[in-house]
Amino acid sequence: MIAYIDGKLAYKEPAYVIIDVNGVGYQIKISLSTYSALPQGERCRLQTYLHIKEDAHTLYGFLTTAEKDLFLHLISISGVGPNTGLTILSSLSVEEVQQAILREDVRTIQHVKGIGAKTAQRIILELRDKIKKETLTADSVVPAATHNTVRAEALSALVTLGFAKNVAEKTIDAIIKRESRNLSVEELIKFALKSS
């Protein structure tokens, strides 16, 4: 999997960009919010997701980890493919999608082109608990961006070390709740290893 692409922004238009990395141009599909935030001709880094089908390998790019995480949540739902996920993120900001899911606001999600009532309801039903958990955890002690990165890195490390993902998540969340200070990834992993 290609986690990110870092290089010079050679070309951009609302649907995709081309990033030059040492003479190789990567074409990456993007949302409108990523498009508007990217300066032409400057060096940039996009978080990426590689979608593989029989007839195509397509890169999707995101300026923020939050946007990529929400995209991955959306495409995990039956009936929501990568292009639909990108359309949702082009029509609504990450915060608007999260708020619509938390408030069970079917109409807001349904206003996105190509999303019917049943798909909007499925998105809310399947993502409500995940989004609620992420926003509750993010609203705790640490600023959201820093906290989510530290938590995600610690979780990834613990899973790599052989922890079951759900056990690791519960352990990390308990440690974050217990400690009243900002923890580094290393501290969080050490606490988790000691508590198991």
The 3-state secondary structure of the chain reads: CCCEEEEEEEEEECCEEEEEECCEEEEEEECHHHHHHCCCCCEEEEEEEEEECCCCEEEEEECCHHHHHHHHHHHCCCCCCHHHHHHHHHHCCHHHHHHHHHCCCHHHHHCCCCCCHHHHHHHHHHHHHHHHHHHHHHCCCCCHHHHHHHHHHHHHHHHHCCCCHHHHHHHHHHHHHHCCCCCCHHHHHHHHHHHC
What pLDDT was estimated at residue 163? 80
CATH of the domain at 124: 1.10.150.20
How many structural domains comprise the chain?
3
Same domain, 132 and 94: yes
Is the domain of 58 the same as that of 73? Answer: no
- How far apart, in whole angstroms, are the C-alpha atoms of residue 196 and residue 192? 6
Cα distance between residue 41 and residue 58, in whole Å: 22
Res 147: pLDDT: 55
Whether residues 73 and 54 share a domain: the answer is no
Domain span at residue 183 reads 144-195
Q: Which pLDDT score is estimated for 153? A: 82
Residues 58 and 69 in one domain: no
CATH code for position 27? 2.40.50.140
Question: Do 74 and 118 share a domain, yes or no?
Answer: yes
* pLDDT, tens digit, 9 for 90 and up, residues 28-80: 999 998 998 887 778 899 999 999 999 999 999 999 999 999 999 999 999 89
Measured between alpha carbons, how far is 136 from 67 in angstroms, rounded to an integer?
Answer: 17
**pLDDT digit of tens for each residue in the chain (196 aa)?**
789 999 999 999 889 999 999 999 999 999 998 998 887 778 899 999 999 999 999 999 999 999 999 999 999 999 899 999 999 999 999 999 999 999 999 999 998 888 999 999 999 999 998 888 877 665 544 444 455 678 888 888 888 777 888 888 888 888 888 876 678 888 888 888 777 5
The residue assigned the tokens 């200070």 is: 181
Q: Is 81 in the same domain as 21?
A: no
Q: Indicate whether 70 and 133 sit together in one domain.
A: yes
The token pair that represents 97 in the structure block: 């999608």
Domain boundary residue among 89, 121, 138? 138
Say whether both 29 and 79 belong to one domain.
no
Residues 179, 118 share a domain? no
Domain boundary among 119, 138, 157: 138
pTM beyond 0.75, yes or no: no
User: What residues form DSSP beta bridges with 13?
Assistant: 16
Same domain, 127 and 178: no
What CATH number should be reported for the domain holding residue 184?
A: 1.10.8
- Same domain? For 157 and 176 the reply is yes
Residue 158 and residue 173 in one domain: yes
Domain boundary among 62, 77, 102: 62
